[in-house]
Amino acid sequence: MKSKTKIIALAGILGVALIGGTFAYFTQTDGVTNRFHTGTYNTELVERFKPKDGENWEPGAKVNKEVLVQNTGDLPVVVRVKFTEEWAHKSDPENPYYKVDTADTAVKPAAPGTTARNKFESIYQTDANDGIAGTDVDDSIVTKELNLSEADKWVYNPADGYYYYKEILPARTDDSQPYPETEKILESVTLDDNVDLGAYRVMKYYSTVESETKPGVKDKDAWTLFDYDENGEFISTREMSRRLEERNPPEFIYFMKSEDELIEGRTGYSDSDYTLTITAQTVQATDGAVKELWKVTEEDMKALGCSWMLRKEGELYSGDEVAMTAAE
């Protein structure tokens, strides 16, 4: 039988994003160039997570993972976040067999009747016992505790797959104050208690080694797999004994054993690493910036419930986006 106690390592759930820079405006009046220097533009993705909590991740286990964004600069900003999750076998970590990016709006839930907005939020497996895993047959198998209710300050935009903070994140006005920060977008992650850990088959072995004690399980040379019939099933013990006795010289079965083994090519999510990458983007709170860089307008976001009051400004600036994923 399939063991539901197999351990899957949770790797790469640590994500950090830094976005920063400075900018200046240049104008000219009466032939004199005046340089106006703005303040520092800098934000930080903050994560409260203990890496050791993900080392022995079992089906049904919940791991606390709190994620929010701080404004460490002195300009007001607007914030959005996207998530990417993937599964890869430990033997081939560079080639994930499952990958979902919330910014890929073409990735819709496959779960029938789901109210989830995308595969990332939908917990669904076509068959939890067939040993087949991948984006083409499954939605996610990791439940995320996201703060997206009407009372929360995060909202999902189906047009681009990002999660937006409803309010402008201000800069602090006094160095003695803490940096302003968003409410948490994520609280925890939980591995589905019905995760497909592979399709197993009972394998029958016999030993023709005459001995007073049964050969050890790891003594591969002492054990031989039963023959198959025309339907791919193991033949009976009586038939296997008959075939052995007809050999020259005849052989006899002294010991037998049965083992559950993964069927080749149907390993499900067993012996795999899960990687969750959180990428935060921020931009100065001006209408021109969000329109050019994010392709959204203040009106678009207000329709989703955002209370943005963007400044009208011809000049715009955004720091370079950086996302980093750390894997155990």
- Structure confidence by residue, pLDDT tens digits, 274-288: 888 888 898 888 888
- From CA 220, how far away is CA 228, in angstroms rounded? 19
> Distance from CA of residue 140 to its chain's centroid?
8
> Distance from CA of residue 301 to its chain's centroid?
27
Task: Report the pLDDT value the prediction gives residue 161, as an integer from 0 to 100.
Answer: 94
Task: Report the pLDDT value the prediction gives residue 49, as an integer from 0 to 100.
Answer: 53
Residue given tokens 């925890």 in the structure block: 188
Domain boundaries of the chain, sorted by first residue: 9-197+268-326, 200-262
281-312 pLDDT, tens digit each: 988 888 888 898 899 999 999 999 999 998 87
- From CA 20, how far away is CA 169, in angstroms rounded? 15
Please determine, for residue 328, whether its predicted confidence score (pLDDT) is greater than 70.
no
What tokens were used for 259?
């083992």
Reported as a pLDDT band with limits 50, 70 and 90, residue 26 is very low
Q: Are 274 and 76 in contact (CB under 8 A)?
A: no
Query: 75: which residues sit within 8 A by CB, 6+ positions away?
Result: 38, 39, 40, 41, 171, 284, 285
What is the pTM assigned to this prediction? Answer: 0.71
49-107 pLDDT, tens digit each: 555 555 567 888 888 888 888 988 888 889 999 999 999 988 898 999 999 999 998 78
Task: Report the pLDDT value the prediction gives residue 56, as an integer from 0 to 100.
Answer: 62
> Distance from CA of residue 315 to its chain's centroid?
37
Task: Report the pLDDT value the prediction gives residue 218, as an integer from 0 to 100.
Answer: 77
Distance (Å) of CA 33 to CA 28, 45, 298, 301: 5, 37, 33, 37
Helix (H, G, I), strand (E, B) or coil at 253: coil
Please determine, for residue 148, whether its predicted confidence score (pLDDT) is greater than 50.
yes
Please determine, for residue 29, whether its predicted confidence score (pLDDT) is greater than 50.
no
Task: Report the pLDDT value the prediction gives residue 123, as an integer from 0 to 100.
Answer: 94
Of the listed ranges 37-41, 57-61, 95-99, 112-116, the least confidently predicted one is 37-41
- From CA 59, how far away is CA 190, in angstroms rounded? 8
Task: Report the pLDDT value the prediction gives residue 47, as an integer from 0 to 100.
Answer: 57
Q: What is the mean pLDDT of the chain?
A: 79
Encoded amino acid at 108, one letter: K
Q: Are 223 and 257 in contact (CB under 8 A)?
A: yes
Residue 202 is classified by DSSP as E
Query: Before 249, cis peptide (omega within 30)?
Result: yes
Reported as a pLDDT band with limits 50, 70 and 90, residue 201 is confident
Rounded average pLDDT over 119-144 = 93
What tokens were used for 194?
């019905």
312-327 pLDDT, tens digit each: 754 444 443 434 333 3
229-276 pLDDT, tens digit each: 998 889 999 999 999 999 999 999 999 998 888 788 889 998 888 888
- From CA 258, how far away is CA 7, in angstroms rounded? 23
The region, left, alpha or beta by phi > 0 then psi within -120 to 50, assigned to residue 222 is: alpha
- From CA 297, how far away is CA 310, in angstroms rounded? 10
Task: Report the pLDDT value the prediction gives residue 46, as an integer from 0 to 100.
Answer: 65
Residue 319 is classified by DSSP as P
